Amino acid sequence: MKKLIFIIPLIVLLAGCTSTATNTNNNTTTTTPQTTASDNVVTYTDTGFSPATITINKGDTVTFENIASNDVWVASNPHPQHNGYPTTGGCIGSTFDACGNISPNNSWSFKFDITGSWGYHNHLNHTEGGTVIVK
């Protein structure tokens, strides 16, 4: 009985953590989950970045997770200047630069404080890249 007293409030608490947004258009209603900071993850695989484009709010942090078999080096476009994100002080140009390899099963995070569309690439293979849109 003591376990039940503990479990019921826990279930109620967890149920309250789910939020949805409802969009009504042309008499149809769709419900979609709200994006939270923990959702701002870009995964690097052996085939590139996923998602290729991510939209976040100003002040959010994006985590770049490497699950590929090789290293990745996330850096602001353009290659090789890395100065597309307009804050200076990084190792080459912009602060939006991991400044080195991210080995498999590791990650690197960056907080985006400026609105806009920010392209990035893998400095180790500049043909791979993506975009962070900050609203």
Q: Where are the domains of the chain?
A: 37-134
The structure tokens 């390899």 sit at 101
- Helix%, strand%, coil% for the chain, nearest 5: 15, 45, 40
Q: Does 109 or 90 have the greater pLDDT score? A: 109
Each residue's pLDDT tens digit, 53-107: 999 999 999 999 999 999 999 999 999 999 999 999 889 989 999 999 999 999 9
**pLDDT reported for residue 89:** 86
Q: How far is CA 116 from the centre of its chain?
A: 15
CATH number for the region 37-134 comes to 2.60.40.420
User: pTM for the full model?
Assistant: 0.72
- How far apart CA 133 and CA 123 sit, in angstroms, is 20
